[in-house]
Amino acid sequence: MHHTPYGRSVTYDPRTLKKFGETFDRAWAVIAGNFTGSSCDAARLQLATIILEFASDGDCNLLELKCRAIGAMQLPRAA
């Protein structure tokens, strides 16, 4: 049995995918300074996954999607 990351298969048209990419870029610009070195790749993957999970639930308001994704990220605490 093939397992999809979100428990279901979801497809989007190219225009919607472009919007998700822009949402990712804007969200990453806000939180990128919280990550360094090798943690950047893991954090970028986590952010992308969160955005796609929220979108697959029907949340396609891009501003809200960005804000929810940032809120869902587990940001490192300042020392």
3-53 confidence digits (pLDDT tens): 345 556 778 889 999 999 999 999 999 999 999 888 899 999 999 999 999
Report the distance separating Cα 40 and Cα 42, nearest Å: 6
- Which residue blocks in the chain are alpha helix, DSSP H? 14-31, 39-56, 62-72
**In this structure, is residue 2 part of a structural domain?**
no
Burial string for 42-52 (b: 16+ CB within 10 Å, else e) reads ebeebbbebbb
Give residue 59's pLDDT.
65
Single pTM value for the model: 0.81
**In this structure, is residue 9 part of a structural domain?**
no
Q: Which of 16-25, 39-48, 57-66, 69-78 is least confident?
A: 69-78
How many distinct structural domains can be found in the chain?
1
Report the distance separating Cα 25 and Cα 12, nearest Å: 18
- For residues 75 and 31, is the Cβ–Cβ distance under 8 A? yes
Which residues constitute the domain of residue 50? 14-30+37-72
